Amino acid sequence: MSAQDNSTIDELIDLADAARIDGRYDEAVQLYRKVLESDPNNLRAHIGLGLIYSFGYEGMFMEACYEFEKATQLSPNEPQLWIWLGKAYQQVAWLEDNQELLLKSKAAFERALEIDPNNEEALKQLRYLKEFGL
């Protein structure tokens, strides 16, 4: 990929992020997907799509899981990515009454704690899951 291509991708990501933050989700999704056509391993595009899908965009909760799974593969030592993945698993687990996804959620939060033992969000989510016997 040339420096020109990287510049264009960075510009598209910036536009997509701005659209996401402004709540223009259709536009943001199109831009993130365009980035991923050129750069399938673009971490920011996977995160952006994961966030939009986790907001309930067109009922694409499971797609949020896929996007955050990819993000954790690309950047496995970033605890926030594991938090988002755990929350995405939780959303689908509650919607579909899926115990396996609750266990995956717990594992994601535990991974966040391995990276950052004082991560308050991971600790809070694990306490929440413990209330449900996990």
Query: Would you say residue 4 has pLDDT above 70?
Result: no
Q: What is the pLDDT of residues 41-66, one digit of tens each?
A: 999 999 999 999 999 888 899 999 99
Query: Would you say residue 3 has pLDDT above 90?
Result: no
* Domain span at 32: 3-131
The pLDDT score that the predictor gives to residue 115 is 98
The pLDDT score that the predictor gives to residue 134 is 83
Q: How far apart are CA 133 and CA 4, in angstroms?
A: 52
Look at the chain and report how many structural domains it folds into: 1
Q: What is the pLDDT of residues 65-74, one digit of tens each?
A: 999 999 999 9
DSSP H helical segments within 1-134, as ranges?
Answer: 3-21, 25-38, 43-54, 61-74, 79-96, 99-115, 120-131
Query: Would you say residue 113 has pLDDT above 50?
Result: yes
Query: Would you say residue 79 has pLDDT above 90?
Result: yes
Q: How far apart are CA 45 and CA 116, in angstroms?
A: 24
Token duo for residue 27: 């536009």
The pLDDT score that the predictor gives to residue 132 is 82
**What 3-state class would DSSP assign to 44?**
helix
The pLDDT score that the predictor gives to residue 107 is 98
5 — pLDDT class (breaks 50, 70, 90): low
Q: CATH number of the domain that 72 lies in?
A: 1.25.40.10
Mean model confidence pLDDT for the chain: 94
The DSSP secondary structure of 80-110, one letter per residue, reads HHHHHHHHHHHHHHHHHT-HHHHHHHHHHHH
Radius of gyration of the chain (CA): 16
Report the candidate in 79, 77, 73, 78 with the shortest Cα–Cα distance to residue 40.
73
